[in-house]
Amino acid sequence: MAVKRILTFGEKTLERVSRKVEKIDGETMELIRDMKDTLMAAPGIGLAAPQIGVLKKVIYINFKDGETEFILMNPKITGKSGSERDAEGCLSYPNYEGIVDRPKKVTVTGLDEKGRSVVVEGEGLLARALCHEIDHLEGVLYTKRARKVYKLEEQ
């Protein structure tokens, strides 16, 4: 078990482009375990590998509802439709949210954690989470896409 430090906005790694996963070796498996542990210990629903300092195309989504949970490697958006304007935040930018337009539905292809090709259809929050995490793999932070960004009230 390894909960990693989550990088925050301003750290240059977050603005770099990640590399494709070429093979699922021990290093990749360790990265996947670390991403799961880190997201489970954090108040979020998605994490991208660069957020823990590893520039590899791996994302992990976990809505913590016992249903929506998966690893996706080398994810690629192959279809999108509609548009939805809503608030979103990022574990790398605590206490802030922004209003971002995202597709209402997306189709994403990639590899699951066993290296099998998968197609994920996402709608609403899942479409938003997929777009947000895939952006991280290209070094794009949501604040670049946001119409406005604002600080949340202290809890």
Is 133 considered catalytic here? yes
Contact with Zn ion (CB under 5 A) among 31, 58, 90, 111:
90
Stretch that binds Zn ion, among 16-24, 87-95, 123-131, 145-153 (CB under 5 A): 87-95
The string of DSSP letters for 65-101 reads SSS-EEEEEEEEEEEEE--EEEEE--TTSTTEEEEEE
Does position 45 bind Zn ion by CB under 5 A? no
CB neighbour class for 6 (10 Å; exposed up to 12, middle 13-18, buried from 19): buried
Q: Among 88, 97, 113, 133, which one carries the catalytic annotation?
A: 133
Contacts with Zn ion: how many residues (CB under 5 A)? 1
Stretch that binds Zn ion, among 2-10, 11-19, 20-28, 89-97 (CB under 5 A): 89-97
Given a contact cutoff of 8 angstroms between Cβ atoms, the answer to whether 148 and 139 are in contact is no
Give dist(CA 59, CA 105) in Å, integer: 18
* Residues catalogued as catalytic: 133
Binding footprint of Zn ion on the chain (CB under 5 A): 90
